[in-house]
Structure 1
Amino acid sequence: MSTPGGQETFNRMNIRIIGICVAAALGGFLFGFDTAVINGAVDAMTETFALGPALKGFAVSSALLGCAAGAWFAGPIANRLGRVPVMLIAAGLFLASSFGSGLAFGVADLIAWRVIGGLGVGAASVIAPAYIAEVSPARIRGRLASLQQLAIVTGIFAALLSDAFLANSAGGSLEELWLGLEAWRWMFLAEAIPALVYGLAALRLPESPRYLVARGKVDEATKVLRVYTGIIDVGDRIRAIEDSLRSDHRVSLRDLRGSRLGLKPVVWVGILLSVFQQFVGINVIFYYSTTLWRSVGFEESDALTITVITSITNIVVTLIAIALVDRIGRRPLLLVGSAGMFLSLGLMSIAFSQATLVTAADGTVNADLQGGWATTALIAANAFVVFFGVSWGPVVWVLLGEIFPNFIRAGALAVAAAAQWLANFAISTSFPAFSEIGLTFAYGFYAFFALLSFAFVYTQVPETKGRELEDMTDDIRVR
């Protein structure tokens, strides 16, 4: 039976671990903000720089190339310098991108600054789940790791809300707002505030105990574990970390090699989790939803409002996922999510098959949904967000922080995250072309991959609920 004093100490440690995980997850907030801020600016940016469909798609998704590169290099840098320095580098890249994008002279330098911001997004997407997994006790690791996705969707919400506020304040995203700059430019400049907050928060974070042990700083690692995690027998945990790290071996990307198509099985699981998360088309909703809802008859202000409501829905269901992930496990949530996404995307595909094509004055062709089909598409789109938000959104980040053995975690997570950003780039860049073929085709394509994701989870994805990171192996299997 625990004493009141012991319970107070446990609660204090819980507050401390939650605090540092929230601070680390602020990178996820910037991740969400940076990738979603384009939503409110895309139409104004297209008109300002006279972009055609192909260049428009590339301008929207160009940041994702930087994300892939940032994710790829974040692992090796984190292994060399530590987790916290990578967070500080990411914050600096975010800040530079905010000013550069907001003050861009043309589409070329806008794309360049978006790529620079993408480097920060990619680095944050790797380092936050790795850091949170490495400092979290196993009993609550799923919930703490889910903070990354909560931060991402909150960042998306903040970006969409600020986009709507700035556009409405100016009377339109193309209208001048402050200091002679149009509202769409202020949408990018607004990112400077969370970038500064993230950098300041990262300065106060302790380094990952697993990184410290890998660098031979056992005393510092012991202090971090004792102060923040509530582990009673720190000596046993330090020894377990030392054994799992294989501290006499210099880690490199060569350690990811295996017999199955050149990579270890667990690395392929991480890569495919990342690819499926993007190939269901979730970011089409958050990058292009304002354009999408305008195309079916909503005004710009109404379309932005609908997009904000969708992002609120995403936050709510992510909170539900946080409550469930350590109770019912990772696999059940993913399976339910895949089934729900398949049904809702299929319904969207059917709804848009009933649309009438209307040619606008500028020559663009929009889908016009009338009556019940417009409502059906709106409900199905939000149902899709619900099923994604309660499953594939947070759970993939939880698994990417958990499934890899300690000695390859940073490198394997970097490869998986890079694959995720490349998949995101492919889906985001292709959507304008897909929509020209027809939205029925586009959402049917995403529905097909939602169905494939169900089969993949059922046959290949392991359950990691309640397992210590030191127990993970590179030949992990479902059964």
Structure 2
Amino acid sequence: MPKDREVAAPIESDGRVTPRLVAMASTAALGGFLFGFDSAIINGTVDAVREQFSLGSGLLGFTVSCALLGAALGAWFAGVCSQRFGRVRTMLIASVLLTISALGCGLAFGVWDLILWRFIGGIGVGFASVIAPAYIAEIAPAKQRGRLGTLQQLALVSGIFLAFLLSAMIAWLAGGASEITWFGLEAWRWMFLTGIVPSLVYGILASRLPESPRYLVEKNDDEGARKVLIDVVGMSAGEATDQKIAEIKSTVNLERRQRFADLFGGKFGFKTLIWVGILLSIFQQLVGINVIFYYSTTMWKSVGFQESDSFMISVITSVTNIVATIVAISLVDKVGRKLLLLVGSGMMTLSLGTMAVAFAQAVTVNGELSLPGHWGIVALVAANLFVVGFGASWGPVVWVLLGEMFPNNIRALALGLGAAAQWIANFVVSTTFPALADLGLQVAYGLYAGFALLSFLFVWRMVRETNGRQLEDMTL
């Protein structure tokens, strides 16, 4: 009997992956899809918005990146909202905010209301980016949590791809992003309006989701939690579900004892491990990855590519990002987190340095910049190698590390702090790129190459491998 129990216990306690569970995780992961879609749809509109509202580099950069301030705010309050109103209602709030934002941006009459609508959309992105992985983790059996959790990252890069593809199609049909098209609206407005559809679909599907068993236990609804564990997670009724509910209760009580003061105590304010998490998040953005997703169409046009070619390059780059993310998912548990980060930093340093050299060769032809000879192809190949290096390492691996590198008693607070640092760094990089580009693209990408090199040294000296370690074994 003891032998049989040893074999059966993991199955009983962990549950199993059912079609309904996969569908629920996929629905929650649509939050990641909207995160990627909203972040990338601005790419195809940048030049048209600059022309429409006569924007300088500074105001253009803020218009593009203001959504990131909203995302930081949304991420900060998402946890509070999910605790008070539930995970599913938080998804519905994100859906409403993103739908309103898409409509407002598409019908904006000036730059300041466009900024307002993008800020509101950013709050929705912040909500969606936090609640999606949280909900998936809370409904997934322990042994399948990593596999189901990757749906969030796949959904995110898929959202980026679809945003680029729709932008390219609309610009092609209209003859340019600034051209007047259906119902007298410019093409760039329709790019924003396309976001209404996935936002509404997300809300409709999310409204059909059951609450997570963790939230139900927090609200003392043990019977509701037991029903979800049995019907969705696939656990058997009886001792296993009672034990699981007891484990959730003990974890809830542990997290209630978390204090922000526990993050402090090192020479520089925060404890060393907290700084490692913060700097991982900052370096992930300082290499300039979101410049590719926010400004790539504008960037390629600025060095001589036609608008239609620039849109197509952006689509190809997004496909490359999806493939690289799949590679990361297949390797992260085999070769470890630290090695992937080191290889990624090396690839990014070389590719970004190559881009800086290529853009330094730009010449003026008939009053417009152009990359002569083979330098256009060199820059294009280097840009996609940069995306491969990032997508197969720093993109997903940083989120994996942030979720597992901290001790249980401070994990939620430390993860939130790291995520906030990431949004702020993203805002700084995205806001400053137009001004740096005015100085020369070689300046911008030379700077990003320097940060990529620093990220290699940082990981080599400061990051500890977490692969194969139990979460309970993590210490400061």
TM > 0.5 fold call = yes
Q: Which residue of 1 aligns with 2:438?
A: 436
Q: Which amino acid aligns with 2:251?
A: S
Q: CA deviation at 1:350?
A: 1.8
Q: Which residue of 2 aligns with 1:102?
A: 106
Q: 1:92 aligns with which of 87, 96, 99?
A: 96
Bigger shift: 68-77 or 10-19? 10-19
Contact 1:71 1:415 in 2 (8 A): no
Bigger shift: 135-144 or 403-412? 403-412
Contact 2:255 2:409 in 1 (8 A): no
Distance 1:453 1:287 in 2: 22
Q: 2:371 aligns with which of 351, 358, 369?
A: 369
CA 1:80–1:466: 2 relative to 1, 3 Å? farther
Q: Which amino acid aligns with 1:200?
A: I
Distance 1:139 1:461 in 2: 25
Q: CA deviation at 1:253?
A: 4.7
Matched, 1:156 2:160: yes
Written as runs of structure 1 = structure 2, the 5 A alignment for 1:133-282 is 133-230=137-234, 233-246=240-253, 249=256, 253=260, 256-259=263-266, 261-282=268-289
Q: Which residue of 2 aligns with 1:121?
A: 125
SS in 2 for 1:35: helix
Bigger shift: 218-227 or 186-195? 218-227
SS in 2 for 1:179: helix
Matched, 1:314 2:321: yes
Distance 2:78 2:396 in 1: 21
Aligned residues: 466
Q: CA deviation at 1:463?
A: 3.9
Quote the RMSD (CA, aligned, Å): 2.9
Per-residue Cα deviation, 1:95-126 (whole angstroms, up to 9, x for no partner): 00011000001001000000000001112122
Contact 1:125 1:417 in 2 (8 A): no
Distance 2:303 2:465 in 1: 42
Q: Which amino acid aligns with 1:101?
A: C
Q: Which amino acid aligns with 2:399?
A: W
Q: Which residue of 2 aligns with 1:424?
A: 426
SS in 2 for 1:207: coil
Q: 1:354 aligns with which of 349, 352, 361?
A: 361
Contact 1:138 1:466 in 2 (8 A): no
Q: Which amino acid aligns with 1:162?
A: L
Bigger shift: 219-228 or 294-303? 219-228
Q: Which residue of 1 aligns with 2:448?
A: 446
CA 1:319–1:236: 2 relative to 1, 3 Å? same
Q: CA deviation at 1:442?
A: 1.1
Q: CA deviation at 1:298?
A: 1.0
Q: Which residue of 2 aligns with 1:413?
A: 415
Q: CA deviation at 1:468?
A: 5.6
Report the TM-score when normalising by structure 1. 0.89
Q: Which amino acid aligns with 2:401?
A: L
Q: CA deviation at 1:78?
A: 2.3
Q: CA deviation at 1:418?
A: 1.9
Contact 1:68 1:422 in 2 (8 A): yes
Written as runs of structure 1 = structure 2, the 5 A alignment for 1:25-36 is 25-36=29-40
Q: 1:290 aligns with which of 297, 301, 315?
A: 297
Contact 2:16 2:234 in 1 (8 A): no
Contact 2:436 2:443 in 1 (8 A): yes
Bigger shift: 202-211 or 293-302? 202-211
CA 1:180–1:24: 2 relative to 1, 3 Å? same
Q: Which residue of 1 aligns with 2:43?
A: 39
CA 1:133–1:463: 2 relative to 1, 3 Å? farther
SS in 2 for 1:173: coil
CA 1:175–1:137: 2 relative to 1, 3 Å? same
Bigger shift: 66-75 or 245-254? 245-254
Bigger shift: 261-270 or 170-179? 261-270
SS in 1 for 2:181: strand
Q: Which amino acid aligns with 2:430?
A: S
Q: CA deviation at 1:260?
A: 5.8
Unaligned stretches of 5+ in structure 1?
A: 361-365
Distance 1:18 1:265 in 2: 38
Bigger shift: 76-85 or 113-122? 76-85
Report the TM-score when normalising by structure 2. 0.89
SS in 2 for 1:354: coil
Distance 2:410 2:446 in 1: 37
CA 1:134–1:400: 2 relative to 1, 3 Å? farther
CA 1:131–1:264: 2 relative to 1, 3 Å? farther
Q: CA deviation at 1:252?
A: 6.1
CA 1:40–1:391: 2 relative to 1, 3 Å? same
SS in 2 for 1:114: helix
Q: CA deviation at 1:348?
A: 1.1
CA 1:461–1:427: 2 relative to 1, 3 Å? same
Distance 1:260 1:235 in 2: 45
